[in-house]
Amino acid sequence: MLPTIEWVEDKVVMIDQRRLPGEEVYVECRDYESVAEAIEKMVIRGAPAIGVAAAFGVALGFLKVTSQADADEGFSRIYQRLKATRPTARNLFWALERMQRIYKDSRNLPLPALQKRLIEEALDIEREDVEINKKIGSFGRSLIKTGDAVLTHCNAGALATAGWGTAVGVIRAAFEEGKKIKVFVDETRPFLQGARLTAWELSKLGIPYVLIADNMAGWLMQKGEIRLAIVGADRIARNGDAANKIGTYSVAVLARENQIPFYVAAPLSTFDFSLEDGGRIPIEERPAQEVKEISGRLITVADANVRNPAFDVTPARYVPAFITERGIICPPYQTH
């Protein structure tokens, strides 16, 4: 299993995803503030992975609470800080809300028992995430046939989760079944999650892949070189509109134009049934520097005006099916 994040002796250890694939360096967080900063600075990223990090952050932060009298105020300070790290991925809020429910249900326990309970819950969230991804993989692999070339965007692999991956997890499950497949990896400007992280994961797993610049997918689809596309998601509204890494919408539109199926693989914790449609999903704007520089080197004029929305929303009509841990879901959607 590829390492993403671990709870080790009352510390949270995560691989520094900013430094991959060049260096495999681990960051140790000893307090909730360093976990919050790691999420903000993209040491760890990917919707399910930041959910796990936030849950660990709560457990770690609460270990520093020293008296029962300070517990409510302490919990709320930690919760609010982690909640403010990144706005788009539903999994972050889902994990925090789950930790809050446990806190409320267990707050009458003596402090050491309550601290232990929060650690156990965070570890459960981590463990369950891997199991969920494997289920997503075992449902989704039927959509891939031997000989297929699959396009993926961003990184929805082991690094974006507690392990295994969602979209890459489906590809991995098909590959492990013995299907001969090839993956086209969008480089995913500006943060290069595809070039740096998905390519790194696929090469470690021995899955054949071809790295392409983002603007090449349309041409390759038109030439018949791509048979399907599978991506992850950060938040899915009740009607099926799906927010994912910027550029996903372009892939979906190109896939439709070229009659190529475009699937979204995501756990149920990514669904936000409180939002009627994708227009209400908060879209993070990240620093201009991410667009203006590559590896710390300026690639444009120093004072260029920049926009850097980190996500876009693909309308539900472009998504013929969602691959979840409960199975493959197709429209029309009904929620009860």
Q: Where does this chain touch ligand MRU (CB under 6 A) — which range of 143-151, 155-163, 176-184, 211-219? A: 155-163
Among 118, 143, 158, 160, binds ligand MRU (CB under 6 A): 160
- CB hemisphere CA count around 71 (13 angstroms): 18
Name every residue whose Cβ is closer than 8 Å to that of residue 149 and which is 6 or more positions away in sequence.
Answer: 181, 182, 183, 184, 225, 226, 227
On the 0-12 / 13-18 / 19+ scale of CB atoms within 10 A, 201 is: buried
Q: Which of 29, 6, 8, 26 is nearest to 17 (CA)?
A: 26
Task: Extract the tokens encoding 71.
Answer: 């517990």
Q: What residues between 236 and 265 interact with ligand MRU by CB under 6 A?
A: 244-245
Q: Which is nearer to ligand MRU, 115 or 314 (CB)?
A: 314
Q: Which is nearer to ligand MRU, 61 or 165 (CB)?
A: 165
Q: Which is nearer to ligand MRU, 72 or 285 (CB)?
A: 285
> Is 135 one of the binding residues for ligand MRU (CB under 6 A)?
no
Q: Which residue, judged by CB position, is nearest to ligand MRU in the bound state? A: 232
Q: Which is nearer to ligand MRU, 61 or 194 (CB)?
A: 194
Q: Which is nearer to ligand MRU, 225 or 290 (CB)?
A: 290
- Whole-angstrom distance, CA of residue 300 vs CA of residue 233: 30
Instruction: Return the sign of the alpha-carbon dihedral for residues 219, 222, 228, 229.
Output: positive
- Whole-angstrom distance, CA of residue 106 vs CA of residue 101: 9
Q: Which of 268, 329, 232, 14 is nearest to 132 (CA)?
A: 268
Q: Where does this chain touch ligand MRU (CB under 6 A) — which range of 158-166, 174-182, 198-206, 316-324? A: 158-166
Q: Where are the alpha helices (DSSP H) in the chain?
A: 32-40, 47-63, 71-83, 90-106, 111-140, 167-176, 199-205, 217-222, 248-257, 289-292
Per-position x/- string for 35-74, each x denoting binding to ligand MRU as judged by CB under 6 A, each - no binding: ----------xxxx--------------------------
Instruction: Report whether 153 contacts 249 (CB < 8 A).
Output: no
> Is 269 one of the binding residues for ligand MRU (CB under 6 A)?
no
Q: Which of 159, 210, 152, 125 is nearest to 46 (CA)?
A: 159
Catalytic annotation, residues: 234
- Hey, what's the torsion of the CAs at 249, 202, 285, 45, to 10 degrees? 130
Q: Which is nearer to ligand MRU, 18 or 182 (CB)?
A: 18
Distance in Å from the first CA to the final CA of the chain: 37
User: Nearest distance from residue 215's CB to ligand MRU, in Å?
Assistant: 18
How many of the chain's residues bind ligand MRU (CB under 6 A)?
A: 17
Q: Which is nearer to ligand MRU, 51 or 114 (CB)?
A: 51
Per-position x/- string for 176-215, each x denoting binding to ligand MRU as judged by CB under 6 A, each - no binding: -----------------x----------------------
> Is 14 one of the binding residues for ligand MRU (CB under 6 A)?
no
Among 15, 156, 207, 254, binds ligand MRU (CB under 6 A): 156
List beta partners, residue 157: 165
Q: Where does this chain touch ligand MRU (CB under 6 A) — which range of 120-128, 141-149, 156-164, 271-279? A: 156-164
Which residues form the interface with ligand MRU (CB under 6 A)? 45-48, 89, 154, 156, 160-161, 166, 193, 232-234, 244-245, 310
